[in-house]
Amino acid sequence: MTGAVARLHAKLGQFFAALALVSAALVFAMVVLITVNVALRGSGLSGIVWTDEVSEYALYALTLLAAPWLLHRSAHIRVDVLLISLPARMGWMLEIIADMMGLAVCLIFVRYGAAAALESARLGSLTIKSLVFPEWWLIAPLPAVFLLLAVEFVFRLQRAVSGPRQPTRSSAAGLA
């Protein structure tokens, strides 16, 4: 990577780390909310009606927020056993193919996620449970996050093509 591209990738990594921190904060908030709700119910008081619903939305949000950081660190779920058992050049080629497929899928999600969010906003669709709000609020983060993932796949492809002809080790590989 050139100096400017490497700096851009590092800045993007910092942004992804900030998203991961927000994701961790959502986990903490869920734990507190569920604990308070259980304590209220256990003490004979009525619980917080919207706890389960907010927890569902938080799970969705924290998954989206953490995904770019995990991909950036190569800590996402992947099967390294195949890549490292093949000859280095073949493992490298498979990794490039996988990254190209990842990029294509992300771009498809960007396209259709954006269309779904815009259509939901145009129709004025609402999510109606305990809480009522515009449906597009739930859909809009999807294309934004998949765009970030697509950008990371571009960086991964650039790094693979310009680097050594061998598969990249995941950052989680050294943890076992």
pLDDT in tens, 107-158: 999 999 999 999 999 999 999 999 999 999 999 999 999 999 999 999 999 9
| 71: pLDDT strictly greater than 70 | yes
Structure pTM? 0.87
Domain boundaries, the chain: 3-175
Q: What is the pLDDT of residue 80?
A: 75
Q: Give which of 51, 59, 23 is closest to 131, Cα–Cα.
A: 51
Q: What is the pLDDT of residue 174?
A: 45
Q: What's the pLDDT band for 23 if we cut at 50, 70, 90?
A: very high
Mean pLDDT of the chain: 90
**Which are the contacts of 94, defined by CB distance < 8 A and separation ≥ 6?**
82, 83, 86, 167
Q: Are 106 and 146 in contact (CB under 8 A)?
A: yes
